């Protein structure tokens, strides 16, 4: 489902004036929910539009790699993941982030991204932030905040990438909260689980083993 289009914010920098014509930021910010509407995982339908000189270079949304099954068709792929804030939460890992899909599209079609501005649903995760820095993005405009984005903010600031947040509030994930509350399918500790989780499990298993009295 496509999120309601964000309403343009009054801005002294906006050329809207009496005509009601959106500023460039307002124009591209309003495209983001449209792109996000194509996402294929309801755990977080986000989108992103990459722009240079007021022209769209590429776009991306949360989805599986081309040709692979989508969550909306075959269900999620659950894993326990250590997040940027150190918390361990259950995530769907079937899909590629919107920013990463946009970068992949640029790579596929040979589109340089140096000097671009990225408009996205929420502040990028740390991995995406590092990738955006690496390809030469100069500015990130996020519609909302990502609850675990402190590392991303630090990375972008250290790299001199400007970060603007359109609405100063956290992005909400209704389906993620529901899934967590209802108990998402127990994630199997198989390949794909982050090392910290596996190490923790092994440590717990060893502790249990040590507690078992030795047989005589």
Residues near Zn ion (CB under 5 A) are 41, 43, 71, 76, 92, 94, 97, 125, 128
User: Can you tell me whether residue 54 is helix, strand or coil?
Assistant: coil
Euclidean distance between CA atoms 137 and 150, whole angstroms:
19
Give me the phi and psi of 205, to 5 degrees please. -65, -40
Instruction: Check if the beta carbon of residue 94 is closer than 8 Å to that of residue 41.
Output: yes
Least CB distance from residue 40 to Zn ion, whole Å?
A: 8
Instruction: Determine how β-strand 139-144 pairs with β-strand 78-82.
Output: unpaired
Of 14 and 176, the one with the shorter C-beta distance to Zn ion is 176
Euclidean distance between CA atoms 165 and 197, whole angstroms:
32
Of 8 and 63, the one with the shorter C-beta distance to Zn ion is 63
Least CB distance from residue 78 to Zn ion, whole Å?
A: 8
Least CB distance from residue 74 to Zn ion, whole Å?
A: 9
Residues with a catalytic annotation lie at 99
30 sits in which H/E element: helix 24-36
Of 29 and 97, the one with the shorter C-beta distance to Zn ion is 97
Least CB distance from residue 152 to Zn ion, whole Å?
A: 9
User: Bridge-partner residues for 164, per DSSP?
Assistant: 141
Of 8 and 44, the one with the shorter C-beta distance to Zn ion is 44
Instruction: Determine how β-strand 78-82 pairs with β-strand 55-61.
Output: unpaired
* Residue written as token pair 């990375």: 155
- Spatial neighbors of 68 by CB under 8 A, at least 6 apart, are 94
Least CB distance from residue 43 to Zn ion, whole Å?
A: 5
Of 8 and 113, the one with the shorter C-beta distance to Zn ion is 113
Q: What burial class does residue 44 get, using C-beta atoms within 10 Å of its C-beta: 0-12 exposed, 13-18 middle, 19+ buried?
A: buried
């Amino acid at each position: 489902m496509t999120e309601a289009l964000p309403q343009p914010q009054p801005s002294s920098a906006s050329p809207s004036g009496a005509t009601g014509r959106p500023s460039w930021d307002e124009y591209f910010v309003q495209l983001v929910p449209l792109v996000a509407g194509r996402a294929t995982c309801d755990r977080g339908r986000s989108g992103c539009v990459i722009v240079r000189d007021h022209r769209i270079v590429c776009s991306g949304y949360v989805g599986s790699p081309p040709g692979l099954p989508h969550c909306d068709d075959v269900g999620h792929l659950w894993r326990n993941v250590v997040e940027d804030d150190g918390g361990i939460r259950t995530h769907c890992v079937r899909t590629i982030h919107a920013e990463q899909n946009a970068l992949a599209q640029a790579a596929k079609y040979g589109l340089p991204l140096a000097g671009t501005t990225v408009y996205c649903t929420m502040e990028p995760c740390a991995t995406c932030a590092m990738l955006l820095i690496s390809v030469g993005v100069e500015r990130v405009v996020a519609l909302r905040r990502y609850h675990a984005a402190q590392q991303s903010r630090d990375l972008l600031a250290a790299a001199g990438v400007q970060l603007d947040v359109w609405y100063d509030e956290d992005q909400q994930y209704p389906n993620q909260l529901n899934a967590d509350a209802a108990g998402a399918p127990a994630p199997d500790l198989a390949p794909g689980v982050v090392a910290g989780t596996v190490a923790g499990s092994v440590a717990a298993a060893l502790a249990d083993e040590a507690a078992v009295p030795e047989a005589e």
